[in-house]
Amino acid sequence: MSYRDKAEQLHAELEKHPGTEDLRKEIKAVLVRPEHGPTLRDRLREFAAQHPKLAGALQGLIDELNAAGL
């Protein structure tokens, strides 16, 4: 599964969680502009620390971003 697929999967998952609009916007942004990658990775790590239940999905995207060189 590519980082793109992971990002879309996580985006869909986050839609069920209120208060994630900004993060979802950043996920969309990285699909268009790779330079958003490092910022998104930092945000995902912060978010994972605050939301342990989502940590697995968040870490999955972080791994895929790393693999894609983002």
Partner 1 sequence: MRLYAVLFAIGLAVYGALAWERLGKQSVAPQFVVQADAWLHGHLDVEPVTSDADWAKLETVALADGREVTGRRMVTQPLFRTTTGDFIPTSQLRQSKGVRWYMSFPPVPSLLMIPSALIGGRGGNDVIPTALVAALILPLLLLVLRRLRDAGLSQRTDEEHLWLVALLAFGTVLFFSSVQGKVWYTAQVCGVVLALVYTWASIEAAHPVAAGLALGAAALTRTAMAFMLPLFLFEVWRCRRAEWRRIALQFGAPVAGFAIAGMIYNAVRFHSPLEFGHTYLDVRQQILIEQFGLASYHYLARNLAVAFTLLPEFPGHSPWLQISGHGLAIWVTTPALLYAVWPREKPAIHRALWITVACVAAPSLFYMNSGWIQFGYRFQLDYIVFLIVLIAIGGRRLHKPLIAACIAINLFGAITFDRQWQYYRYGGNAYDVVVAH
Binding site for partner 1 (CB under 8 A): 2, 4-5, 24-25, 28-29, 31-35, 37-38, 68-70
Q: How far apart are CB 52 and partner 1 at their closest, in Å?
A: 27
Q: Which is nearer to partner 1, 40 or 58 (CB)?
A: 40
Q: How far apart are CB 18 and partner 1 at their closest, in Å?
A: 17
Handedness of CA 36, 17, 51, 7 (dihedral sign): negative
